[in-house]
Amino acid sequence: MSRSGWRKRLARAAVILPPYAWLAAFFLLPFVIVLRISLSDPASAQPPYRPLFDWTGGWDALMAFLGALDLENFETLASDSLYWEAAISSVTIALVSTVLLLLIGYPVAYGMARAAPRLRPLLVALVILPFWTSFLIRVYAWIAILKPEGLLNQFLLALGLISDPLTILNTPTAVYIGVVYAYLPFMILPLYAALERLDWTLVEAAQDLGSPPWKAFWTVTLPLSLPGVVAGSLLCFIPIVGEFVVPDLLGGSDTLMIGRTLWSEFFSNRDWPLASAVAVVLLLIVVIPIVFYREIEARRWEAR
Amino acid sequence: MNDTTRALRPAIGAVRRSFSPWTDPQARPLIRFESVTKRFGEAVAVEDLSLDIFEREFFCLLGPSGCGKTTLMRMLAGFEEPTAGRVLLAGQDLTGVPPYRRPVNMMFQSYALFPHMSVADNIAYGLKQDRLPRGEIEARVEEMLRLVQLEKLATRRPDQLSGGQRQRVALARALAKRPKVLLLDEPLGALDKKLREETQFELMDLQVRLGMTFLVVTHDQEEAMTMSDRIAVMDHGRIVQVATPGELYEQPRTRFVAEFVGDINILEGKVAGMEEGGWRVETPHASQALTVFDPDEVLGHGQPVAVAVRPEKMTIHRQRPQGPNVLEGEVWDIGYLGDWTVYRVHLGSGAVVRVSCANASRFVADPITWDERVFVAFAPDAAILLSR
Ligand SMILES: Nc1ncnc2c1ncn2[C@@H]1O[C@H](COP(=O)(O)OP(=O)(O)OP(=O)(O)O)[C@@H](O)[C@H]1O
Ligand SMILES: [Mg+2]
């Protein structure tokens, strides 16, 4: 091969390699480690799992190591209803939250996209503004708002709408409020990106052909903003399934979420293998919608 | 052009010749703009404009970019409400009637085809809104596809079509509902010259066959002249003149119209009096005063006026011809166009006039060439006097 041919190959590799190297180093490698721990047994030692792999032992040591790995932790997960409930509850909370986020985020994004062009950058900045403050602080602020003697109750009492403070903190309602609040920008921004690109003469054309505004929305605007809906939903659903901070701070003890289960297995019980198994299951739950999405995308491209 | 259009041609001719409702004081217009004004903030897009369009008329809006053509059309379609004045359709005031309740369909300047629907679904869209039975919708879609010759592409999506095909889909979609009035905003803008000319005749044919009223926007004056019954020339939100193509060309009312429609030579001068029914105009471009028969103009002595003459109404000579209007100059440039030859003659005054001569014979023994001294002449009734 000629010199320039090699150069070209090298250049191409230099472009393609970094993302793969990144994924291998920061996703694949940690995942292999977690998977390996999830197949081990807990031990009161340092590190708190067995078997350990003896690098000096050669072939026999490797075989012994692999022989000691088993699916015991996954069996535990499957047989104990606590984990099932945590998983189902997480997915339910994530689904309901995603729907709520869509219902709130879509009108907001729509309004932003129809605002005067010179106003739009300001509106986008306002949506991103909360990120200037730490996530943790913002969730703590919600405690101050939602607690029995908090701002919300004071306000409602002052208006005379209620006579006794509402119990919101440490209920699933508080979790929904916190999650929807925290993830709203992630829903609004992709929706806004899709709607802002939309050619509004298409909506006019629909109305010209006899569609009232709601029908023009349903048959033209919504289908054309679907990529934004899917992107925003994935961007919210996936992290919400594994969300730990919000249910921990706002949800109280009776809100089951898989992220909290993982945390307590890891830190309270020091059962690293079981915690790792929960992490693997969580990953699988999250991968399903992504695979589903890719399938839809692939079919859409084929249809073209 | 296909066989049906050829067979229909004499019929269209007959319809065209006898069609002139605008001269009939009894006729009621189908569309009426009544002192309509449209402002966008400070900017005035349409200013105090009144216009009547009659049923079955093929009406063109002609004017330079930004003169308010699209805005006028959008007010009829219902996308803009007039700031002042009102729009009437068949005698009914359209103020406050939303676009989806107006019996008017529009073909958009950008086509505005739905990218997520096939060609057939695009065409069916308007019919579905009318809740027609499915069989009828299918039949109508098929008919429209045949009309615009896109049967084979029914399942394609708009982004898989060429510009010309997209334009035909947009036309079919707007026609499918058989609206009373079809609005076409630069319908042929994206087509090459040949396809454009073909489609012009197809549109005219369609309009006669379906008995519809067409309001077409264009800034191509040739296109407007070819297709329309009448043309409105617009400038800065106002209508300057409404007339048939022939009137517009031969009797433009203002300098703007004269210069916008076709080529014209303008010779500035001053009225020097009236002699034997003709106006005498003194101009620095000719050694003797020019004589013009233009009964439409009423002028005062000494008033500045322009003598306007179309290039094909001038003749070019080596020897000074007999007759009243003779200009003297030097040939600067010769453009051979096949059917015509255009001479640019530089007059002693510094002005340049264009003279076009039909190339009636294939060979000329001793043709006029560059830098020759020549005389340009025109008849008194070939010129127009323009005071505005
Ligand atoms: N939505 C709007 N907001 C502000 N100004 C507008 C708006 N729509 C049109 N205008 C202005 O009104 C004037 C007329 O515009 P219009 O689109 O009717 O022109 P047009 O004759 O169709 O031009 P073209 O031949 O380029 O399509 C222009 O000066 C334009 O800038
Ligand atoms: Mg326009």
Residue B40 included in any domain: yes
Q: Are residues B275 and B240 in the same domain?
A: no
Instruction: Please state the rounded mean pLDDT for residues B234-247.
Output: 94
Q: Are residues B90 and B17 in the same domain?
A: yes
* pLDDT score at B11: 53
* pLDDT score at A62: 87
Chain B residues lying within 8 Å of A211, measured CB to CB? 100, 125, 129
Instruction: Please state the rounded mean pLDDT for residues B264-284.
Output: 89
A224 in reach of chain B (CB within 8 A): yes
Chain B residues lying within 8 Å of A206, measured CB to CB? 114, 125
Which ligand is the nearest neighbour of the Cα of B108? Answer: 2
Q: Are residues B362 and B237 in the same domain?
A: no
The model's pTM is 0.81
- Two tokens, residue B375: 């005389």
Residues lower than pLDDT 50 in chain A: none
Q: Are residues B290 and B196 in the same domain?
A: no
Say if the Cβ atoms of B99 and A205 lie within 8 Å: no
* Ligand 1 site, CB within 6 A: B 40, 43, 45, 63, 65-71, 219
Q: Chain B residue with minimal CA distance to A300?
A: B116
Whether residue A71 contacts residue A39, with contact meaning beta carbons closer than 8 Å, is answered with yes
pLDDT in tens, A47-70: 888 888 878 888 888 888 888 888
Q: How confident is the model at residue B7 (pLDDT cuts 50, 70, 90)?
A: very low
pLDDT in tens, B156-194: 999 999 888 998 899 999 999 989 899 999 888 777 788
Q: Are residues B277 and B227 in the same domain?
A: no
Q: How confident is the model at residue B367 (pLDDT cuts 50, 70, 90)?
A: confident
Which of B227, B256, B285 is where one domain is finished?
B256
Residue B143 included in any domain: no
As a whole number of angstroms, the distance between CA A130 and CA A189 comes to 13
Say if the Cβ atoms of A208 and B105 lie within 8 Å: yes
User: What Rg value do the Cα atoms of chain A yield, rounded?
Assistant: 25
Q: Are residues B229 and B331 in the same domain?
A: no
Q: Is residue B3 scored above 50 in pLDDT?
A: no
Q: Are residues B13 and B97 in the same domain?
A: yes
More confident residue, B233 or B190: B233
CA B129 to centroid of chain Cα atoms: 34
Q: How confident is the model at residue B142 (pLDDT cuts 50, 70, 90)?
A: very high
* Nearest CA owner, ligand 1 atom 5: B40
Percent of chain B, pLDDT > 90?
A: 64
* Nearest CA owner, ligand 1 atom 22: B70
Residue B151 included in any domain: no
DSSP for A3-63, written as a single string: HHHHHHHHHHHHHHHHHHHHHIIIIIHHHHHHHHHHTSEE-SSSSSEEPPP-TTSHHHHHH
Say if the Cβ atoms of B77 and A208 lie within 8 Å: yes
Residue B226 included in any domain: yes
* pLDDT score at B59: 96
Q: How confident is the model at residue B4 (pLDDT cuts 50, 70, 90)?
A: very low
Percent of chain B, pLDDT > 70?
A: 95
When mean pLDDT is compared across B143-152, B176-185, B189-198, B235-244, the lowest value belongs to B189-198
Q: Chain B residue with minimal CA distance to A215?
A: B129
CATH of the domain at B379: 2.40.50.140
Which of B256, B279, B306 is where one domain is finished?
B256
Number of domains chain B is built from: 2
As a whole number of angstroms, the distance between CA A179 and CA A72 comes to 34
Q: Which atom of ligand 1 is nearest to the CA of B63?
A: 21
Q: Are residues B183 and B296 in the same domain?
A: no
* pLDDT score at B24: 85
In 3D, which of B80, B69, B6 has the Cα closest to residue B38? B80
Q: Is residue B5 scored above 80 in pLDDT?
A: no
pLDDT in tens, B50-81: 999 999 999 999 999 999 999 999 999 999 99
Q: Mention every residue, 6+ apart, whose C-beta is less than 8 A from residue B308.
A: B252, B255, B258, B264, B265, B266, B267, B383, B384, B385, B386
CA of A225 to the centre of ligand 1 (A): 28
Adjacent-strand bridge partners of B289? none
Domains of chain A, earliest start first: 80-302 (1.10.3720.10)
Which of B195, B224, B256 is where one domain is finished?
B256
Q: Are residues B92 and B208 in the same domain?
A: yes
Residue B115 included in any domain: no
Q: Residue B277 sits in which domain range?
A: 264-386
Environment class of A230 (CB within 10 Å of its CB; exposed 0-12, middle 13-18, buried 19+): middle
Q: Are residues B234 and B316 in the same domain?
A: no
B131 in reach of chain A (CB within 8 A): no
* pLDDT score at A61: 86
A281 in reach of chain B (CB within 8 A): no
Q: Are residues B207 and B339 in the same domain?
A: no
Q: Are residues B287 and B348 in the same domain?
A: yes
Residue B130 included in any domain: no
Q: Containing H/E element for B59?
A: strand B58-62
CATH of the domain at B99: 3.40.50.300
Residue B13 included in any domain: yes
Q: Is residue B305 scored above 60 in pLDDT?
A: yes
- Shortest CA gap A225–chain B (Å): 11
DSSP state at residue B213:
E
Chain A residues lying within 8 Å of B100, measured CB to CB? 207-212
- Which residue in the set B99, B130, B160 is minimally distant from A207, CB to CB? B99
